Amino acid sequence: VKKVNGKVAKTAKDIQQAAVLGAGIMGGGIAFQSALKGTPIIMKDIADKALDLGMSEASKLLAKRVAKGKMDAAKMGKVLSSIRPTLNYGDFENVNVIVEAVVENTKVKQAVLAEVEEKVADGTILASNTSTISITKLAEALKKPENFGGMHFFNPVHMMPLVEVIRGEKTSDETIATLVAYAQKMGKNPIVVNDCPGFLVNRVLFPYFAGFGMLVRDGADFQQVDKVMQKFGWPMGPAYLLDVVGIDTGVHAAKVMADGFPDRMQHDFKDPTEIMFENERYGQKNGIGFYRYE
C-alpha cells in the first residue's frame, strides 16, 4: 500500500492471465492487444461465428505486421496461440482480470457479469467495456462490487491510445490500480474517471452525434457533412464513424445517454441512426449502414 498525494493507493494485482467476454468488434480488439503485449487471454462468446471472426481479425492484423517486417512469423504464431477462443467458462478460475464486452444492454451485461462472477476465484477483477452504462448500476448484479470497475477501450482498440478506467460507487482502489496497470501493460494511456452515463468521451461524442442527426433531419446530405468534417480536420465524419462504431451499439448507447440526461439528450423525432437500425443497417459489421461495404 502506497501513499499518493495523501491518499492511500493500493498496488495493482499481478496480471498473468486475462479473459474477455464477447468476441465482437471490441472483444476481438481487446484480445488482440492483450496478446500482442504479452498477457494471454481467453476470448469467450456465445457464437462460434463470432469467435472465428475475432480470430481471423487478429490473424489479419498480425499478418500485416509480419508483411511490414515489424514482427517475424514465429512471434505471430506465439501471439495468436495466446488468444484462446471458447464457448464455455473452462479455466476461468485461473484468470486475474476479465473484461466484459458483450452488447450494450444493462440486463444482458448484468446477467453475464453475475454468471462469470460464479466461475472465478475470489480475488478476480472484473471490468465492463460499456460505452455509456453506469458502472454502479451494473455492479448491482454482483456479490463483490468492490472487485468491479469500468475499462472503456476505443475502436479500433489496437490504434486508439486512450482507455477510460471508471470508478463505480463501490469500486476499490485495488481494482482501479489493477485496471490502470492492465491498460498500461497493453500499451494504452488510461485515465481514471468518475461514473456517469457516457463517462467523459461519450459525453462529448453523443451530443455531436445528436447534432449530426438534427442536421440531417433539417435536410443536410450526410455524405456532405462527412466531407466537411474531414476538411475541418477530423479523420472521419459522423456518419462514417457511426458505421465503424456499429449502428446498433450507437442506438443503444444514445438511449442510455437520453435516459441519463433527459433534459439535454432527448428528442421527439426519429433520427437517421434510429431509422438505419430499424432497417437492420448496422454499419461495417453487416456490410451496410450509412454506406455500403464490400
Query: From the CB of 224, what's the least distance to ligand NAD, in Å?
Result: 24
Q: Where are the beta strands (DSSP E) in the chain?
A: 2-4, 7-9, 18-21, 41-44, 83-86, 97-100, 125-128, 148-152, 162-167, 189-194
Q: Which is nearer to ligand NAD, 35 or 50 (CB)?
A: 50
Q: Which is nearer to ligand NAD, 89 or 261 (CB)?
A: 89
- The closest residue (CB) to ligand NAD is 24
- Known active-site residue 152: yes
**Count of CB atoms within 10 A of residue 94's CB?**
12
Q: Which of 192, 129, 138 is nearest to 165 (CA)?
A: 192
Q: Which is nearer to ligand NAD, 154 or 222 (CB)?
A: 154
**Which chain residues interact with ligand NAD by CB under 6 A?**
21-27, 44-47, 50, 101-104, 108, 112, 129-131, 153-155, 245-246, 249, 253, 285
Q: Which is nearer to ligand NAD, 71 or 193 (CB)?
A: 193
Alpha-carbon torsion angle 47, 51, 52, 56, nearest 10:
150
Amino acid at 186: M
Grid coordinates in use for 15?
Answer: 496480471
Q: Which of 121, 91, 98 is nearest to 27 (CA)?
A: 98
Query: From the CB of 244, what's the least distance to ligand NAD, in Å?
Result: 7
Query: From the CB of 3, what's the least distance to ligand NAD, in Å?
Result: 34
**Count of CB atoms within 10 A of residue 49's CB?**
9
Query: From the CB of 214, what's the least distance to ligand NAD, in Å?
Result: 22
List, by residue number, the catalytic residues: 152
